[in-house]
Structure 1
Amino acid sequence: MKIKVIGAGCETCDKLYEHVREAVAETGCDAEVEKVEDLLEIVKLGVMSAPSLMIDGKLVVSGRMAKKDEIIRFLK
């Protein structure tokens, strides 16, 4: 599973990244977590709002912070 946390390095983006890493650890799923902060890469992904969360190429959260429990549901 490939997970991308997308955002330009703001505090909310950092918190989302932290929640994703905690959710991955709790579920024990085999996931590669990547933080995408480069503006050109964000545009290439087609993301218009930050923070955003992409799992296996599918945008599941956009323009808001997801709680850890919500992320765990996405991972299952």
Structure 2
Amino acid sequence: MKIQILGTGCPTCNKFEELINQAVKELSIEDKVEKVTDIIKITDFGVMSMPALAIDGKVVLSGQLPSYEKIKELFVNALPVEEPADEEQGGCAGCFG
């Protein structure tokens, strides 16, 4: 997962970054968080109000400082869903070893 915080470094953007990093740590997300402060790069995302959050290149939040719970929800929804092992088949593509 590619996580990008889009913001210029204002107090609200800094608080947003703090919340993002806290959620990433709590959810044990091992991906690096990139902070994008270059206004040209930020506008390339189509963002006009900050702070903003992009996950895998898609802006999922912009122009607000959401609750910590909302931030965690965004990450949980973006995490890949792991398929449970097929117990009937031994969980290894049908090999029964």
TM-score (norm 1): 0.91
Distance 1:75 1:46 in 2: 21
Task: Give 5+ residue unaligned stretches, structure 2.
Answer: 77-97
> Greater helix percent: which structure?
1
Q: Corresponding residue for 2:15? A: 15
| Deviation (angstroms), 1:18 | 0.5
One-letter identity of the residue aligned with 1:49: S
> Greater strand percent: which structure?
1
TM-score (norm 2): 0.73
CA RMSD of aligned residues (A): 1.0
Distance 2:3 2:67 in 1: 15
SS of the residue 2:26 aligns to: helix
Aligned residues: 76
Q: Corresponding residue for 1:6? A: 6
Distance 1:26 1:38 in 2: 28
Q: Corresponding residue for 1:34? A: 34
Determine which structure has more spread, i.e. the larger CA radius of gyration. Answer: 2
Task: Give 5+ residue unaligned stretches, structure 1.
Answer: none
